[in-house]
Amino acid sequence: MSWVRIALAALAGGIASSMTDWLFMGDWLYKRYDRHPEIWRFRGGQGEMKAIVWASLLPFLTCAVFALVCGRLHLYSYSGTLKLALAIWLIGPLPLTIANVLFIKLTPAIAAAHALGWLVKLAIAGLAVTLILG
């Protein structure tokens, strides 16, 4: 398992999935986020730049750990990495998103976008592993 290739998979996956985060969780549904402004930490977007920077780094962590897990499990095929991505999504992000919607004022469209964004992010990580490590 080459650390350089893992770093490249994490970097490529992180960059690509950052773009999907912007699409699924940001720009696409931006108007819907203001429906319940009392749930947000930063009123009117004031002071949220630090949070945006930290949130932008998280896809790189997700992709790096995904690449490490695939390397340890010797998963380098499209079907293997995509099945792992789906399993992780069903174990973590999907139930967590549904639970959050049950307790937090999030519209169904935002919840669906968050859940699909996670699935796409994990699938991109799987594709990066297959293309770079495989």
Mean pLDDT value of segment 1-7 = 87
Q: What is the pLDDT of residues 73-131, one digit of tens each?
A: 999 999 999 999 999 999 999 999 999 999 988 888 888 888 998 999 999 999 999 99
Q: Which domain holds residue 50?
A: 3-132
Q: What is the pLDDT of residues 33-55, one digit of tens each?
A: 667 767 666 666 677 788 888 88
- Long-range contacts of 82-91, Cβ-Cβ distance < 8 Å, separation of 24 or more: 82/123, 82/126, 82/127, 84/126, 85/119, 85/122, 85/123, 85/125, 85/126, 86/119, 86/122, 88/122, 89/118, 89/119, 89/122
What is the domain count for the chain?
1
pTM (predicted TM-score): 0.85
